Structure 1
Amino acid sequence: MRRSVAIGAMLLGILLVPGMSLAQPSTARDGTASAVAQALDRRDDTIEAFYAARDFRAAWHDARRVEALAEALRDLAADGLEPADYGAERLLADHRQAREAGDQAMGRFDTATTRTLLTALRHLHHGKVDPRRVDPDWEVPINERLPPAAAIEAAVAAGEIAALFDRVRPSYAPYERLRQGLSRYRELRRLGGWPRLPEGPTLRPGDVHPDVARLRERLVRGGEMAVAAADASILPGATLEAPDPERFDAELEAAVKRFQRRHLLEVDGIVGPQTRAALNVPVGRRIDQIRLNLERARWLMHGLPEAFVLVDIAGYRLAYFRPNGETWRSRIVVGRPYRRTPSLRSRITHLTVNPTWTVPPTILREDVIPKVRRDPDYLARQNMQVITPSGQRLAPWQVDWSNPGNVMIRQSAGPDNALGQVVVRFPNDHLVYLHDTPAQGLFAREQRAFSSGCIRVQGVIEFAQLLLDDSGSERDLRALLAEGRTRNVPLAEPMPVVLHYWTVHPDPAGHLEFRPDIYQRDDALLRALDRPLSS
């Protein structure tokens, strides 16, 4: 995301005004006011505050106002939500029936419709699905604050329902690009989607094969118009400057590379099994992915700070949106599928330079101890020492490695240390952090889920120096590293950091990048998102 994409949202007001005194209904102003008051669920402060703001008068007596709400609910489809969940198509009929049935029915309809409005606003603002239902390790606070009840009531009274929905919808450019992408892919589905590339040989530049023509058609349907083959039947006898549809030429190779880059595949221009599988994902599945990531965006995209660090887990990227308006970007390595990097929100507080590494319990139990059992010299080669809980050093031969007890293993600082030369730390319950690595070759891979949960950052020394500079810390990181001493270096001002998981991301040009669901989270979220509200 560019700087203008990631900042600038204002925190929304609280729903209830502290200390609000709820008025009693005024039956003189509206014949249904008493019925509205009787139909209210007094345990729901939100809806009661809404009606208190209008002296308990009915809000939905005007059919035009009901139609405005129905239209806004229908438009939720553009956000990946299901209008049927909110009864968009039956609202007007229910309104007519309630008016015919009298004040009590109208009071029930009125309060039910207001509940529908508030439910839709909440879903559009911060998501239909509670992220903790689909991710037990979720740690990111959700901003659930809607506009004040009086502002919601004023919008309803003015019939400005669409504007109210726009007010709560995330205002960041990536969200709007996802909505536009959803519209494009739904239009593709309406037009029949794209053809499936049949099982066959690997296709390489220079090949001539019937499957190449199908590859061209598939890419054209996805927007790569430059590789379209001409139809000679349009102008019989004319000489058309167009590629041989069955020849894998340079233009087609470039289009395949663009596709691979947008799907986090190895960018080699060759259509092998992985690229073929990505090409054959149905358009309906891509639509579902866009909808899921609109939901993920609603969880996060409110009140982002002016400057912050964004860790894009599934995209293997880090972006530092600096206070001066510039953006520093880098590749990262994240946790393996069985040692997942969590979603969380925290603040970077300090750096550790020339760090030692105390092996975490899981890695100690599952990785290091089995290696020591197989190879007694493993610890010495890795510059590791055995430490008791009291800090006493033990020789490896003093430990029964079949039952080592409560020992720790610590790797000394140095060029081979697993954390590299610097660690960027922020408080969290998962004990993860950003750090350097001696395994620099992993950054060249397109898919980079190789760590044990922490995040390795390419160019982390430059990144860490920027954090020091931007926080006013006035420290020279390279000078500190040259001293060779392990030390913690605080930032003068903490820097917010967000770790989040997106399997679809729009680039600044609006192209959608589809990432592998490395942690297998999409299906559970799709089931929750598509679950009817009544269930």
Structure 2
Amino acid sequence: MNEMQSLRQWAIGAALGLTLSQIPFGATSAYAANEPLQQALTQQGLVGSQGLLPVEEFYQLRNEKLAWQSESAVQALVAALNTLENDGLNPADYRADRLMGAFQSSQNAGESTQAAFDIQATRALLLALDHLERGKVNPRDVEPNWDVARPERRYSLLRVAHAVDDQDLERAFTLARPASSEYEQLREALSQYRHIATLGSAPYLGSREESLRPGDVDDDVTTLRQRLTLWGETGLLSADSSAYPMIGVQVARGDKRVFDAELEAAVKRFQRRHQLKEDGVVGEQTRLALNAPAASRVDQLRVNLERARWIGPMQASEPRVWVDIAGFQLHYIRPSGQQWNARVVVGSPHRETPIIHSSISHLTINPSWTIPPTIMREDVLPRVRQNTDYLSQNNMQVINMAGAQLDPAEVDWQRPGGVMLRQVAGSSNPLGRVVVRFPNNDMIYLHDTPAQGLFQRDQRALSSGCVRVEGVREFAQMLLQDSGSRYQLSSLLNSGGSDRNVNLPQRIPVALHYLTAWPNAEGEVEFRSDIYRRDASLLAALQRSV
């Protein structure tokens, strides 16, 4: 070989080496093949897998470079997995208690064992990310009538791979967590209530024939101060630490047996956070809430952190209509960012309002009401059988499946067959003057009501499933305006006729969700009654090992 040929071969080799060195992070290449890793992926059925976790894709982004082959990298992963307790998840589900031992064992074995461990650690990370983003529990397994598709992965796997290289796993978790202030406020509350649970318990407030009221002087008032202090109120106890040693010394003036104005204000704050009548009087419901074990509030927060993960990006889309079923509230975030709030009446425990994600499509003005089969069978037919005048007294028409009106006297009400009942439009119609409609499989809608007094009740799980909205006419006018409609609601209401449908030029997202702990506008987490008894089954599912 002459000198010129040698120089030519050297140049080709140098160019090839430079090319290989410039393969970017995240690119795949035949030159980067890792045979032990490929064998381990194949053995575990992860090659070309369309399964839940993108393990193969993760290694492709790393040019098949192993990720967990130093003690510091595994320590960083274990430390990060242990922080998932702050999200209400169990670190043991991700082998946080076993990974370091498995790593140390793998280091004394061959390349195949090391690759298998690396995949195990990667799967733990990716499973944690999936649970943070979409929830550990599939909502269809525990929620009746769940009709919302689970979202696809939204976080960047490439950014996760970079975070792994930087040993900054918290950055990776932040990519996956719901990006909402509500989720962070629930996490903070979980930490707070876990701390409260470690303090022991204040004396319980005993049952009484008479409620505790402002102005009372009683030993139970001292106990009330101790319970409220446990739940985070300050300045209610004397400087005598023996009053409640678990809580630090707090100085306040006056006789602690006196139910004074300061204590009344603290009781009202507690009642507001627990969906109780905000009157400053400690009756039976307030007493039960005060005596709740801190551990039960921890469980309640864990359950609702999971629900927040199910909700995911819906929290960030604007404008939107949000029906907080257990909170008996509707919130409408308008395109301007202004928020409109209203009280609502939701389905009773026997006729639950379902979880729905949809978009408001149209309004019905001066609606008639075709009575749903369940209500007709359970509520109306027994009354009609007793007195057929019930139909005329309530402006109800009897119709067949084609919509033709029938004579009630010709119907066998013991076996009515395929007849339906329709209540004509008017002031006594249960739907009122306006219905807000959106596509869903349960025939649920938002509507007006003549029974306005129900909005003054504290517990408003009273309907047959649909949602009655206080101030619905103002709400409907905002929907028309914000969607670009040329119509004014007042003109539509006065135009006469019934069942007029008015389409919104631009649909507005709507979501109905069931949340028994959720932050209010001030950022305080409110605890609600579990009116549909759903928390226990979700908590049990969360506690199952994966």
Pairing partner for 1:288 from 273, 295, 299: 299
Asked if 2 retains the 8 angstrom alpha-carbon contact of 1:39 and 1:111, the reply is no
1:256 aligns to 2:267 (yes or no): yes
The answer on 1:218 being equivalent to 2:227 is yes
Q: Who is 2:424 aligned against?
A: 412
Q: Does 1:494 align with 2:507?
A: yes
Within 5 Å, give how 1:261-410 maps onto structure 2. Answer: 261-302=272-313, 304-410=316-422
Report the counterpart of residue 10 of structure 2 in structure 1: none
Q: Which residue of 2 aligns with 1:44?
A: 49
Offset at 1:448? 0.3
Q: Report deviation, 1:24.
A: 5.6
Q: By how many angstroms is 1:36 displaced? A: 4.3
Residue 53 of structure 1 corresponds to: 61
Query: Secondary structure, in 3 states, of the residue corresponding to 1:302?
Result: helix
Deviation at 1:264, TM superposition (A): 1.4
Shift in CA distance, 149/258, structure 1 to aligned 2, threshold 3 Å: closer
Stretch deviating more after TM superposition (315-324 or 146-155): 146-155
Cα deviation per residue 1:485-522 (whole Å; 9 max; x = unaligned)? 22001001011101101000112433221000000000
Residue identity in the other structure for 1:298: R
**Paired residue for 2:526, among 500, 513, 516?**
513
**Superposition deviation, residue 25 in structure 1:** 7.8
Which range moved further: 215-224 or 246-255?
Answer: 246-255
How many pairs align? 507
Which residue of 2 is the match for residue 3 of structure 1? none
C-alpha separation between the residues in 2 aligned to 1:517 and 1:441? Answer: 23
Shift of 1:394: 2.0
Residue 122 of structure 1 contacts residue 146 of structure 1 at CA under 8 Å; is this kept in 2?
no
- Code of the residue aligned with 2:100 in structure 1: it is L
**107, 110, 114: which is aligned to 1:106?**
114
Cα distance in 1 for partners of 2:114, 2:31 equals 16
Amino acid at match of 2:482: D
Call closer, same or farther: CA 1:435–1:34 in 2, change over 3 Å. Answer: closer
Cα distance, 1:37 vs structure 2: 4.5
Change in 2 beyond 3 A, CA 1:362/1:231: same
Matched, 1:94 2:102: yes
Deviations 1:284-332 (A, max 9, x none): 0000001111110001122542211000000000000111111111000
Separation (CA, whole Å) in 2 of partners of 1:38 and 1:63? 26
Distance 1:241 1:282, change over 3 A: closer
Letter in 1 for 2:234: M
Aligned to 2:185, the other structure's residue is in SS state helix
Q: Residues 413 and 51 of structure 1: is their aligned pair in 2 closer, same or farther, counting only changes over 3 Å? A: same
- CA–CA separation in structure 2 for the residues paired with 1:143 and 1:25: 35
- Structure 1 residue 232, shift from structure 2 partner: 9.6
Question: More deviation in 315-324 or 188-197?
Answer: 188-197
CA distance in 1, matches of 2:133, 2:83: 14
**SS of 1:248's equivalent?**
coil
Name whichever of 373-382 and 315-324 sits farther off.
Answer: 373-382
Query: What's 1:189 paired with?
Result: 197
Rate the CA distance shift 1:24–1:206 in 2: closer, same or farther, 3 A.
same
Say if 1:226 and 1:414 are closer, same or farther in 2 by CA, change over 3 A: farther
Give the drift of 1:52.
1.8
**Structure 1 position 139 matched with structure 2 position 139:** no
Could you tell me which amino acid in structure 2 is paired with residue 246 of structure 1? R
Aligned to 2:247: none
Counterpart of 1:78, as a letter, is N
Q: Secondary structure at the match of 1:166?
A: helix
Moved more, 382-391 or 36-45: 36-45
Q: 2-side partners of 1:289 and 1:153: how far apart?
A: 34
Query: Match of 2:167, SS?
Result: coil
For the pair shown, the structure with the greater C-alpha radius of gyration is 2
1:199 aligns with 2:204: no
Q: CA deviation at 1:246?
A: 1.7
Instruction: Write the distance in 2 (CA, Å) between the matches of 1:390 and 1:91.
Output: 66
Q: Which structure's relative contact order is higher, taking Cα pairs within 8 Å and 6+ residues apart?
A: 1
Picking from 245, 262, 266, the partner of 2:256 is: 245
Query: CA separation in 1, counterparts of 2:491 and 2:42?
Result: 72
Between 467-476 and 501-510, report the one with greater CA deviation: 501-510
1:37 and 1:363, CA in 2 relative to 1: closer, same or farther beyond 3 A?
closer
Counterpart position of 1:14: none
Residue by residue, what CA displacement relative to the aligned partner does 1:126-164 show, whole Å, maximum 9, x if unpaired? 100000000131112222314344333232223222111
Task: Report the more deviating stretch, 183-192 or 389-398.
Answer: 389-398
Partners of 2:169 and 2:155 lie apart in 1 by: 13
Is the contact between residue 156 and residue 175 of structure 2 (CA under 8 Å) also seen in structure 1?
A: no
List gaps (5 residues or longer) in structure 2.
1-25, 244-250
RMSD (Å) for aligned C-alpha atoms: 2.1
Contact 2:447 2:467 in 1 (8 A): yes
Give 1:207 deviation, angstroms.
2.2
Which of 62, 86, 110 is the equivalent residue of 1:78? Answer: 86
Q: C-alpha distance in 2, partners of 1:420/1:484?
A: 14
Given that 1:53 and 1:153 are in contact with CA atoms closer than 8 Å, whether structure 2 keeps it comes out as yes
Q: Using a 3 Å threshold, how does the CA distance of structure 1 residues 21 and 55 change in structure 2: closer, same or farther? A: closer
Which deviates the most, 268-277 or 336-345?
A: 268-277
1:374 Cα deviation after fit? 1.9
1:398 shift after superposition: 1.7
Q: Indicate the SS of the match to 1:189.
A: helix
Contact between 1:358 and 1:411, CA under 8 Å: does it hold in 2?
yes
CA displacement 1:46-74 (0-9 Å, x = unmatched): 21111222232222112211111111101
Residues 483 and 146 of structure 1: CA distance in aligned 2, closer, same or farther (over 3 Å): closer
TM-score by length of 2: 0.89
Distance 2:170 2:473 in 1: 48
Q: Distance in 2 between matches of 1:123 and 1:242?
A: 49
Counterpart residue number, 2:171: 163
Q: Distance in 2 between matches of 1:93 and 1:367?
A: 64
Distance 2:103 2:154 in 1: 26
Which of 493, 510, 513 is matched with 1:481 structurally? 493
Q: Is the 8 A contact 1:334 1:450 kept in 2?
A: yes
- Cα distance in 1, alignment partners of residues 262 and 137 from structure 2: 43
Structure 2 partner of 1:531: 544
Q: Which residue number in structure 2 is paired with residue 178 of structure 1?
A: 186
Q: Tell me which amino acid in the other structure corresponds to 2:431.
A: L
- Is the 2:27–2:62 Cα contact (8 Å) retained in structure 1? no
- What is the letter of the counterpart of residue 269 of structure 1? G
Q: d(CA) in 2 for partners of 1:121 and 1:275?
A: 39
